[in-house]
A and B are shown apart, each in its own frame.
Chain A
Amino acid sequence: MKDWLIPVLGAVLLALLPLMVEPYTQDLTVKMMVFAIFALSLELLVGMTGLVSLGHAAFFGIGAYVTVLASPEYDPGSVAMLLPMAVLAAAAYALIVGLLSLRTKGAYFIMVTLAFAQMAYFVFHDTRLGVSSDGIFLNVRPVQGSWLDLDDKRHLFYFVLACLVFTYSLLALVRRSRFGHALAGIRVNEQRMRAVGFHTFGYKLAAFTLAGALAGLAGFLLAAKDAAVNPALLSWHESSAVLLMITLGGLGHLRGAVLGTVVFTLLKEVFSTHSLVGPLADHWQLTLGVTVIAFVALLPHGLMGLPQRLRSRR
């Protein structure tokens, strides 16, 4: 019972949030929810399947770029058209990358995914497809009929929340399914899974493609939120930041991915805000860096391991 209680309570609290807070906090929450979807998609790979990818931002960035590039220039695009396009484009690239990179293992896999992400980064950074190395603006945010207009802050908030709930539930279902158990088996011992007759490559490829598709969804939402994209979305900094979020939260828990995203985004926001930390805000990299070092040194299992660690101290 406890398994679903906390996420459901969290979703209800989030749904009530826009009624209570000022626009700044609401914006920050939307940003956190978008990155939570992105982090959850990576958790499917790293936490559930044991595939550490350092190129996940490619799918995120492709989703965002497709949204902007496929939007009409001066009219609002349609959500029902743009969202599937963003998701499918990201999934298609994930399928190709997966086909090639899943042949390698461990550290090599980390590096190959990174290389494919860098290739995508340079495509948008250097060639005409990406228009300009500074990025592109989205002139009008997408709408759907007359009932959904992502230009409206509240509509955007609830739409992103709905996507987050969808992603979380989908992954929770995957975890409990036969497919999810097979992925867990691959994480623990791939050799043995193959020995009992599982076609592990197919399972890993399916997980990789699904993770890419969900990252594409997050990319669509980010483009709709910021109304702009730039090549930095695909860079390895972004890939390592999201890896950082799920590790910080604690691998192997969906909640950990969300928690890590929230904590990381808040820490960065707090450390770089002048009104909160004074002149130290100019040196946020130092404070954030030292904090993360402390987290790594003291919390080997991430924030989700904190309660147990406190218990064992006693």
Chain B
Amino acid sequence: MDAVNFLVQCLNAVQYGLLLFLLASGLTLIFGIMGVINLAHGSFYMLGAYMAFVLTPWFADSFLLMLVAGGVLSALFGYVLEWAFYSYLYERAHLQQVLMAWALILVFEELRSLAVGNDVHGVPVPAWLSGSVPLGELMTYPVYRLFASVACIAIAAALYWLVNRTRLGMMIRAGASNRDMVRGLGIDIRRLYRIVFAGGVALAALAGMIAAPMSSVYPGMGSSVLIICFVVVVIGGIGSITGALLASLLVGFVDTFGKVFFAEYAGIGVYLLMALVLIWRPEGLLSVRRA
């Protein structure tokens, strides 16, 4: 493998890893703060991708505006969803939430099929991002993929600021490390849950919208990323955003280079990584929970 090829694979790995991070950061917060194993998270990714497909004709000349609109819409959706389906499940066993999420996945898939149909769709790459950059003498790299990485980094930076520099972020971090203590200090935990859930849905939908022009938009696209996201969350340590970032990039590299070097066994690589990490550190790389 020459240097340019290696660079291309690295760029791919980083871009995939960053996209995973958007998905996994929401999931790790929902998991860590609310204690909900949200199997429906993949559906929000699918929702975002389909939203990109539906909204593109409306926002023909402004892709960024579309991302903002989609983010706001999906956050509202998440807020309502938490209130309607999750708010009364916290006191119950994990399994009940798994059951609820499983049912929601079915409902979302069916509603999607009723609304948009079961065809595979493409979302056009916006005109100002459609070129490609030359790399070396022979290779080129699409501008949109670079944009995707930059957009993910921007969102990640905003998230970092929100979680580490604001009062809301302080509550979120406190909730992730000790839920009961936060409640004991008089913070309205139900409102916090709702905000975290809405934020998680918005992040997943943004990931879907950013991914849509690169991959096609198809039924079942949510469930293919869902399990990988859980792997990222567990490797990184439940509730830790920094851990999620580290784990996403790790998974991005293992997956991309696994496909290059061991094509037949590529599917296994990520899970092997997770098993190894957990044998070494049963709580994930950066655990925030003091057990």
Contacts and interface: CB of A to CB of B under 8 A. Distances in A.
B268 A52 contact: no
B95 A251 contact: yes
B110 A283 contact: yes
A252 to B, nearest CB: 11
B231 A115 contact: yes
Nearest to A299: B96
B154 to A, nearest CB: 29
A72 to B, nearest CB: 27
B278 A112 contact: yes
B39 A240 contact: yes
Interface in B99-118: 99-100, 102-107, 109-111, 113-114
Interface in B163-184: none
Q: Is the interface of A mostly helix, strand, loop or mixed?
A: helix
B267 A122 contact: yes
A207 B265 CA distance: 31
A247 interface: yes
Given A52-B94, A114-B230, A126-B267, A107 B31 contact: yes
Given A115-B231, A127-B264, A244-B99, A285 B272 contact: no
Interface stretch (A151-159, A177-185, A288-296): A288-296
A223 B102 CA distance: 26
A247 B99 contact: yes
A110 B94 contact: yes
Given A112-B234, A285-B106, A285-B107, A300 B268 contact: no
Contacts of B99: 243-244, 247-248, 292, 295-296
Nearest to A126: B267
Interface residues of A, number: 45
A118 B106 contact: no
Contacts of A116: 271, 275
Most buried by A among B31, B227, B231: B227
- Interface residue range, chain B: 35 or more
B106 A247 contact: no
A143 to B, nearest CB: 35
Nearest to B96: A296
Interface string A12-54: 0000000000000000000000000000000000100000101
A189 interface: no
Interface in B71-113: 85, 88-89, 92-96, 98-100, 102-107, 109-111, 113
Contacts of A52: 94-95
A286 to B, nearest CB: 4
B238 A107 contact: yes
Contact of A293 (B93, B104, B227, B233): B104
Q: Is the interface of B mostly helix, strand, loop or mixed?
A: helix
A8 interface: no
B110 A293 contact: no
A270 interface: no
B274 interface: yes
Contacts of B88: 297
B110 A289 contact: yes
A259 to B, nearest CB: 15
A75 B92 CA distance: 52
Given A247-B95, A289-B106, A108 B111 contact: no
A93 interface: no
A119 interface: yes
Interface in A99-140: 100, 103-105, 107-108, 110-112, 114-116, 118-119, 121-123, 125-128
A208 interface: no
Interface in B252-291: 264-268, 271-272, 274-275, 278-279, 282-284
Contact of A126 (B85, B92, B265): B265
A221 B103 CA distance: 28
Contacts of B268: 119, 122-123, 126
Given A288-B106, A293-B107, A107 B37 contact: yes
Contacts of B109: 285
A231 B234 CA distance: 25
Contacts of A126: 264-268
A286 B271 contact: no
Interface in A60-104: 100, 103-104
A297 B265 CA distance: 42
A125 B85 contact: no
A220 interface: no
Contact of A108 (B105, B271, B278): B278
A118 B271 contact: yes
A286 B111 contact: yes
A115 B275 contact: yes
Contacts of B103: 288-293, 296
A297 B97 CA distance: 10
A59 interface: no
B272 A104 contact: no
Contacts of B104: 289, 293
A49 B100 CA distance: 23
Interface in A214-244: 236-237, 240, 243-244
A244 B100 CA distance: 10
A119 B271 contact: yes
Contacts of B230: 111, 114
Nearest to B279: A100
Closest 9 CB pairs of A and B: A122-B267, A289-B106, A292-B103, A289-B107, A286-B110, A285-B106, A285-B110, A111-B234, A289-B103
